[in-house]
């Protein structure tokens, strides 16, 4: 049951992506040399949806380099183009549930009413409940619990 | 030393602060409104955080979001630049309460100098010469008339909470006092939320001479000489030079010592500027700015210092890099503030810069954050750059300035560059013979 080299490579990349998801790492790079003409270099990285985005030093005309999307996530449309996007009205740290250990405010698939709390953003030790701006169904949650967000950062997609 | 400084400002000064930090190995965080997403300092900074929509009140003046940006990036200090929150004592208090270092003086000193009446009282008590005026605020028209009669007309009615040239009304004679007094109060209430006013003698033909001071927060202080900022339009400085054409070394040493002694006595920390009106050999204190000033580069040029780095050093608890004896001025420096404004009316001219070429060469410094293809947002002030020249003598500096101005290209918008070409042709400017009224009188003649 020998896999072809490509199948092995794909399995290897999937394994790396899984490892990334399971841990707190944001990037894994592996360089593997099995022979003179059997070299594989793989890099998987997690896209952080909020600042900081590193800027290339000394290249003022180039836009800021974005981190590549995590491997294994199905090719998704750019969330900032989605009409259902709910963007962050403030700066702070996102929490998806009221308290550590409690269930999250919303899950993908939930139907929410206008004004219903979808998540909390903490700033200056104050918890700010972020309401759904309109009724809808939660299609995607774009932030992770405990991640920093800037003004305008994509939070969720509401259909 | 700080690991990470958050720059709570925008435009050319944000880039200035970023540059100072990078030379010191400090990481920078650029906070910005959505309108400034493509600003040069934002692109160059190590980290960026969008903190709000374009209006300054919802972004650059938004204390909670600036603090939140510190929290999520782990910045350990904030440099406020000038304007915005740089002299907001409440902001300083909140910053300090959150365990973040504010790069600047204490909230108490900011508050002290922010109130023009307590500032004047404090300076008087510290031996700094002041403009003859009312003893504190003047509450009624009757009181105003009495005080004005004793100090002699003409008299200015000034808002306590004003500053930077705002909130002032002139009464040339007793007949003008009622109008001046009542409009000054109502405008002060509208602009600053505080209608308290005081009176000062109006000086006929003074120059605006300010002394750069620096304190280490522990009772040590120095002065870095004067800047002559007399050329102003609507109380906004346009052209500054150091040293002043009318101040000699002896006068500089004397007024400089009075100023550095004053701030040493109150254990002032960081950069500050003590502003005077200077007439017939006498200095008259008008206000103290407890922050970095726009025109600091002319002082940096003649003293060969980096004032922003010094601010960062002292805020981090280090000693100043220099003693008073180290500070010997060298040569002459002139700064022109280039605004995105259309002459002759000075209307704001925001828009896209198609081509930008900065002057260069020996003794030329261009502090600007604009670049080819940059669009100037319409929400903020119109300063787009400062052109600073330094040369061995004032005449050489003027020649260098003329040459550098002719190289400057800002295509796509209107700028005030032609104003400076015209000024350099004026004998009064060439000889350094001007007062705080000179520019407006000249503009009135020129635009007839």
Q: What are the tens digits of pLDDT across the range A105-156?
A: 999 999 999 999 999 999 988 899 999 999 999 999 999 999 999 999 999 9
pLDDT at position B422, please? 97
Q: Is residue B118 part of a domain?
A: no
Of B58, B88, B103, at which residue does a domain stop? B103
CATH value of A62-158 in 2.40.50.100, 1.10.30.50, 2.40.10.10, 2.60.40.10: 2.40.50.100
* For chain A, domain boundaries: 7-45, 62-158
pLDDT score of B36: 97
CATH code for the domain of B22 = 3.40.50.20
A55-69, B213-227, B258-272, B369-383: range with lowest mean pLDDT: A55-69
ipTM summary value: 0.80
Question: Which of B201, B217, B252 is at the close of a domain?
Answer: B201
Distance from CA of A155 to the nearest CA of B (A): 14
Quickly state the pLDDT bin for B164 (edges 50, 70, 90). Answer: low
DSSP B186-240: HHHHHHHS---EEEEEPPSS-EEEEEEEEEESSS-EEEEEEEEEEEEETTEEEEE
Q: Are residues B83 and B156 in the same domain?
A: no
CA–CA gap between residue B433 and residue B419 (Å, rounded): 18
Residue A70: the pLDDT is 38
Q: Cβ contacts (< 8 Å) between B29 and chain A: which residues? A: 52
The reply to whether B114 falls in a domain is no
| pLDDT 10s digits, B253-274 | 999 999 999 999 999 999 999 9
Q: Are B163 and B287 in contact (CB under 8 A)?
A: yes
**Do residues B162 and B252 share a domain?**
no
With respect to residue B126, please indicate whether it lies within any of the assigned structural domains: no
Q: How many CB atoms lie within 10 A of CB B73?
A: 23
What's the whole-number mean pLDDT along residues B229-250? 96
Same domain, yes or no, for B192 and B250? no
- Domain check: are B333 and B420 in the same one? yes
B375 exposure class (CB count in 10 Å sphere: 0-12, 13-18, 19+): middle
Model-level pTM? 0.82
B141-161 tens-digit pLDDT: 999 999 999 998 999 999 988
Examine the pLDDT at B439 and tell me if it is beyond 80. yes
What share of chain A has pLDDT > 70, as a percent? 75
Residue A68 confidence (pLDDT) above 90: no
CB of B105 closer than 8 Å to CB of B290: yes
The predicted model gives B319-334 an average pLDDT of: 98
Q: What are the phi and psi torsion angles at A126 (to 5°)?
A: -110, 130
- Calpha distance B183→B205 (Å, rounded): 24
**Which whole number is the average pLDDT over B1-14?**
98
Please state, in angstroms and as integers, the Cα–Cα distance from residue A5 to each residue in A1, A34, A40, A127, B290, following that order: 12, 11, 11, 51, 68
> How many domains would you assign to chain B?
3
**Best CA proximity match to B388, nearest among B282, B268, B239:** B239
Query: Which among B166, B201, B236 is the end of a domain?
Result: B201
Are residues B307 and B245 both part of a single domain? yes
Mutation choice for B interface testing from A92, A94, A124 by most B CBs within 10 A? A124
Average pLDDT value for residue range A11-20: 82
Q: Is the pLDDT of residue B299 over 80?
A: yes
Contact between chains at B48 and A57 (C-beta distance less than 8 A) = no
Which of A68-77, B46-55, B173-182 comes out lowest in average pLDDT?
Answer: A68-77
User: B41 lies in a domain?
Assistant: yes
Same domain, B299 and B190: no
**Residue from B10, B16, B291, B400 carrying the catalytic annotation:** B291
Say yes or no to pLDDT of A55 above 70: no
Within-domain flag for B311: yes
Position A63 pLDDT exceeds 90? no
Same domain, B389 and B346: yes
Out of A70-79, B237-246, B374-383, pick the least confident. A70-79
Nearest to B253 by CA among B324, B334, B332, B333: B324
User: Domain holding B186: CATH number?
Assistant: 3.30.1490.20
| Set of chain B residues whose Cβ sits within 8 Å of the Cβ of A51 | 47-50, 72-73
Q: pLDDT-based confidence at A33, cuts 50/70/90?
A: confident
Q: What's the confidence (pLDDT) of residue B225?
A: 98
Q: pLDDT category, A9, cuts 50, 70, 90? A: confident
Confidence of residue A62 (pLDDT cuts 50, 70, 90): very low
Residue A38 or A103, more confident: A103
Shared domain for B211 and B250, answered yes or no, is: yes
pLDDT at B328: 97
Same domain, B346 and B270: yes
Q: Are both B336 and B415 inside the same structural domain? A: yes
Residue-range definition of the domain harbouring residue B94:
4-103
Q: What residues of A are in the B interface, CB distance below 8 Å?
A: 50-55, 57, 60-61, 63-64, 90-93, 123-124, 126, 148-153
Please check whether residue B323 lies inside any domain of the structure: yes
How far does CA B382 lie from the centroid of its chain? 15
The Cα–Cα gap between B363 and B241 comes to 14
**Model pLDDT, residue B135:** 86
């Amino acid at each position: 049951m020998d896999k072809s080299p490509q199948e092995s490579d794909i399995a290897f990349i999937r394994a790396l992506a899984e490892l990334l998801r399971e841990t707190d790492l944001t990037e894994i790079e592996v360089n593997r040399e099995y022979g003179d003409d059997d070299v594989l270099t793989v890099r998987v990285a997690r896209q952080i949806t909020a600042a900081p985005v590193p800027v290339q030093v000394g290249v003022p005309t180039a836009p800021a380099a974005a981190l590549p999307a995590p491997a294994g996530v199905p090719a998704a449309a750019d969330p900032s183009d989605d009409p259902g996007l709910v963007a962050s009205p403030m700066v702070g740290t996102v929490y998806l549930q009221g308290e550590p250990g409690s269930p999250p405010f919303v899950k993908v698939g939930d139907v929410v009413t206008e004004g219903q709390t979808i998540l909390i953003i903490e700033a200056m030790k104050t918890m700010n409940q972020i309401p759904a701006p309109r009724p809808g169904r939660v299609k995607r949650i774009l932030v992770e619990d405990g991640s920093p967000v800037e003004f305008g950062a994509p939070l969720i997609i509401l259909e | 030393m700080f690991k990470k400084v958050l720059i709570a400002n925008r435009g050319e000064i944000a880039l200035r602060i970023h540059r100072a930090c990078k030379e010191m190995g400090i990481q920078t965080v650029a906070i910005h409104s959505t309108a400034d997403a493509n600003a040069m300092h934002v692109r160059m900074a190590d980290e960026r955080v969008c903190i709000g929509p374009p209006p300054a009140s919802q972004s650059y003046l938004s204390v909670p979001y600036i603090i939140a940006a510190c929290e999520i990036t782990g910045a350990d200090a904030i440099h406020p630049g000038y304007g915005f929150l740089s002299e907001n004592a409440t902001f300083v208090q909140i910053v300090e309460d959150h365990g973040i270092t504010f790069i600047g003086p204490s909230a108490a000193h900011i508050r002290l100098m922010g109130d023009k009446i307590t500032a004047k009282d404090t300076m008087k008590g510290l031996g700094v010469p002041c403009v003859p005026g009312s003893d504190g605020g003047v509450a009624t028209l009757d009181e105003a008339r009495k005080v004005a009669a004793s100090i002699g007309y003409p008299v200015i009615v000034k808002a306590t909470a004003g500053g930077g040239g705002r909130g002032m009304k002139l009464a040339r004679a007793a007949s003008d006092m009622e109008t001046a007094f009542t409009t000054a109060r109502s405008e002060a209430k509208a602009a600053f939320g505080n209608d308290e006013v005081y009176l000062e003698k109006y000086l006929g033909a003074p120059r605006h001479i300010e002394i750069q001071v620096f304190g280490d927060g522990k009772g040590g202080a120095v002065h870095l000489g004067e800047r002559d900022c007399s050329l102003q339009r609507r109380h906004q400085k346009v052209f500054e030079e150091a040293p002043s054409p009318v101040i000699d070394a002896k006068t500089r040493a004397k007024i400089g010592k009075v100023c550095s002694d004053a701030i040493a006595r109150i254990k002032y920390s960081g950069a500050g500027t003590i502003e005077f009106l200077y007439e017939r050999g006498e200095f008259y204190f008008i206000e103290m700015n407890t922050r970095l000033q726009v025109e600091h580069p002319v002082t940096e040029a003649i003293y060969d210092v980096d004032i922003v780095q010094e601010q960062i050093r002292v805020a981090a608890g280090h000693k100043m890099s220099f003693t008073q004896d180290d500070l010997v001025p060298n040569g002459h420096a002139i700064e022109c503030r280039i605004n995105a404004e259309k002459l002759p009316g000075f209307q704001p001219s925001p828009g896209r810069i198609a081509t930008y070429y900065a002057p260069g060469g020996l003794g030329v410094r261009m502090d600007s954050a604009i670049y080819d293809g940059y669009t100037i947002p319409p929400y903020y002030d119109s300063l787009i750059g400062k052109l600073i020249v330094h040369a061995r003598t004032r005449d050489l500096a003027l020649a260098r300035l003329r040459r550098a101005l002719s190289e400057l290209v800002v295509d796509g918008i209107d700028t005030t560059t032609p104003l400076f070409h015209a000024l350099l042709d004026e004998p009064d400017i060439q000889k350094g013979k001007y007062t705080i009224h000179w520019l407006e009188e000249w503009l009135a003649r020129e635009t007839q």
